Structure 1
Amino acid sequence: MNSFDLAEHPHRRYNALTGEWILVSPHRSKRPWQGQQEEVQKEVRPQYDPKCYLCPGNERANGEHNPAYQETFVFENDFGALQSEVPEGSSDKEGLLKVHSERGICKVICFSPRHDLALPEMEVNDIRRVIDVWQREFQELGSLDYINYVQIFENKGSVMGSSNPHPHGQIWAQSSVPVEPAKETIQQFAYYQQHGKSLLENYLNLELQEKQRIVLVTEAFVALVPFWAVWPFETIIISKRHIQNILQLTEVEKDDFAQMIKGLTAIYDKLFNVSFPYSAGLHQSPTDGQEHPEWHFHMHFYPPLLRSASVKKFMVGYEMLGNPQRDITPEWAAERLRSLS
């Protein structure tokens, strides 16, 4: 039998951030780029859509009108999944049927007044203004006594559940720490207690040494395909400096972060020559009043496209019943993305 090869043989990879495992099966996809390469008709959107409830001056579903905003615009979601006024309540039947009320606030951020511009098409200065808004909202929402986590994210494209093509993101701030950040808190805390350093700081140093999964590098950030990536072209942006949250970014680092976001999302658009769909979001320290020195600021990108603009990865079968699985290796995916930079 030949010696074990990550690029050839089935294996499991450990996600140090969540403590979970993924099955990698590279032999199933020797040449993954030889899938469908059909042309997708590009959607041409106007700069302003009179029927869009996110465009400046237009009426939203609740009857309110948007201001004639010129940069970014933030408002409380008219159909938010969380509500700020929820009565306290809980029940527990034999430890099996547990319920607890949840308070929170959901907001929408229109990145630009223009209906036709997504992040990769926006100017770096305009993306920087979005980051300023993220920073302000994180501070304001996180300072509320009942908010213990602020999740900033974007769903881009209808395939990722976006109900409106106008470039926008969301913020869900709530009284509990959601499942994914909670798992990352546990893993990062355990590592910090044992090593006295950030898990992602040491992980990033390893990645910079190996260089196999690096996609983009700027002065303050690194974008890479995680060793444990689940989605075909999943990436993570990690700050080089060990900081806990977006409030600790310097003015120079915010400029750099804007450049990184534009660069990475532009690479995605080049991959299959389409406005690339994804779910992306910041992961940062909880706002529960604790210091959280273990936390390291980062941003996840989870895109679903696999071989072309219309061939998507779905979580089905074994992945729903066992654990996540992928065919193309993270190393191959990183090389493909890197070649487009």
Structure 2
Amino acid sequence: MSLSDFPHRRRNLLTGEWILVSPHRAKRPWQGEQAEPAPADAPRHDPACYLCPGNARTSGTPNPDYAATFVFPNDFPALLHESIGEGDSAHDLFETAPARGEAKVICYSPDHSQTLARMDDAGRRAVVDCWADLSASLGRDWAHVQLFENKGAMMGASSPHPHGQVWASDFVPQIVSQEDTRQREHLARTGTPLLAAVAEAELAAGERVVEASEHWLAVVPHWAAWPFETLVIARGDLARMEDLGDAARADLAAVLGRLLRRYDGLFGVDFPYSMGWHGAPHGLGADHAHWRLHAHFHPPLLRSATVRKHMVGFELLAETQRDLTPEQAAERLRAVTP
């Protein structure tokens, strides 16, 4: 018997949740949705794009003629500096809580045709530096800083221009709070940070490793929910983006380039994904020995450039489920020349 042939469950070490793996279902025929792949060719400047240099945004504010990364306040932020009062609820049974914060947009490049995968290492390094600066500056005022990117229309990106976002909040969001609890418990129980132990075990096994360097490890995690999900883990004692030194930042730029080019080469398309960095919430202060900086990449594509994974039915009502095993996904990503 093999895990690649029979249904089984795996526990997500960072959240404690279980995932059902059903590899035998990958053999079933598919007559579901097949979306058209997004066109890969794009102009370097699109006069209709509200993120390109010199163009007006949807708010009417003109962008400067920026030549590198450009950050501006989100014109339609999900969080505001002001919020409702504590306990403003119509009934004691239904809880509410105030939520304050701010949101910014990060234009990675003035070149409309670029992506993180197609940028050179110097361009990606500028993005890494920008992430670190935002994490540090916003972390002085807010409890948590969430850096993320939605790439591609399939993942709800409102513009094809290369960009990400940062949302800073006065609360620690649910998933990050779960990760904090699990990592804290593991350190207390074993004396070793959870993701340090995961990185060591993954390097020893090798079967889920996609990229490995002096400072970074990219794996399809044992508990991956999305078909080609990856987890990028800092290999040093680093809890937040601003903790990265010069060598780790340069190395990250190179590792991200190789990983993302593997994604694009898998089905020969600009691979859509949602990506986000998780570091120690700033509201914890200096109490973050249990944390390791890491990024989650959640791409939806399953069978081809046009067939995606849908989180529906059992996944929404009972438990996350996947067909392709994480080991099979990692093997396919490794087979792509980056």
Aligned partner of residue 281 in structure 2, secondary structure: coil
The question of 1:335 aligning with 2:304 is answered no
1:23 maps to amino acid: L
**C-alpha separation between the residues in 2 aligned to 1:268 and 1:71?**
25
1:90/1:259 Cα in 2 relative to 1: closer, same or farther (>3 Å)? same
Aligned partner of residue 117 in structure 2, secondary structure: helix
Aligned partner of residue 151 in structure 1, secondary structure: strand
Please point out which of 301, 304, 310 is paired with 2:300.
Answer: 304
The correspondence of residues 90-169 of structure 1 with structure 2, limited to 5 A, is 90-91=87-88, 96-144=93-141, 147-169=142-164
CA contact (8 A) 2:38 2:270 kept: no
CA contact (8 A) 1:279 1:303 kept: yes
**C-alpha separation between the residues in 1 aligned to 2:102 and 2:96?**
19
In structure 1, what is the equivalent of residue 67 of structure 2?
70
1:333/1:99 Cα in 2 relative to 1: closer, same or farther (>3 Å)? same
1:300 maps to amino acid: H
CA contact (8 A) 1:70 1:112 kept: yes
1:323/1:307 Cα in 2 relative to 1: closer, same or farther (>3 Å)? same
Query: Given the two structures, how large is their TM-score scaled by the length of structure 2?
Result: 0.95
Please point out which of 165, 189, 211 is paired with 1:194.
Answer: 189
**C-alpha separation between the residues in 2 aligned to 1:115 and 1:18?**
37
Please point out which of 201, 207, 226 is paired with 1:206.
Answer: 201
Aligned partner of residue 100 in structure 1, secondary structure: coil
The question of 1:283 aligning with 2:278 is answered yes
CA contact (8 A) 2:36 2:306 kept: no
Q: Which runs of 5+ in 1 are unaligned?
A: none
**C-alpha separation between the residues in 1 aligned to 2:237 and 2:227?**
27
**C-alpha separation between the residues in 2 aligned to 1:251 and 1:46?**
33
In structure 1, what is the equivalent of residue 210 of structure 2?
215
CA contact (8 A) 2:207 2:330 kept: yes
Q: CA deviation at 1:101?
A: 1.5
**C-alpha separation between the residues in 2 aligned to 1:92 and 1:63?**
36
**C-alpha separation between the residues in 1 aligned to 2:258 and 2:37?**
23
Aligned partner of residue 267 in structure 1, secondary structure: helix
CA contact (8 A) 2:38 2:152 kept: no
1:308 maps to amino acid: S
Alpha-carbon RMSD: 2.0
1:222/1:31 Cα in 2 relative to 1: closer, same or farther (>3 Å)? farther
Q: CA deviation at 1:309?
A: 0.7
Aligned identity (percent) is 47
CA contact (8 A) 1:57 1:68 kept: yes
Q: CA deviation at 1:87?
A: 4.9
Please identify runs of 4+ aligned residues in structure 1 that moved more than 4 A.
30-33, 35-41, 92-95
CA contact (8 A) 1:117 1:167 kept: yes
1:136/1:201 Cα in 2 relative to 1: closer, same or farther (>3 Å)? same
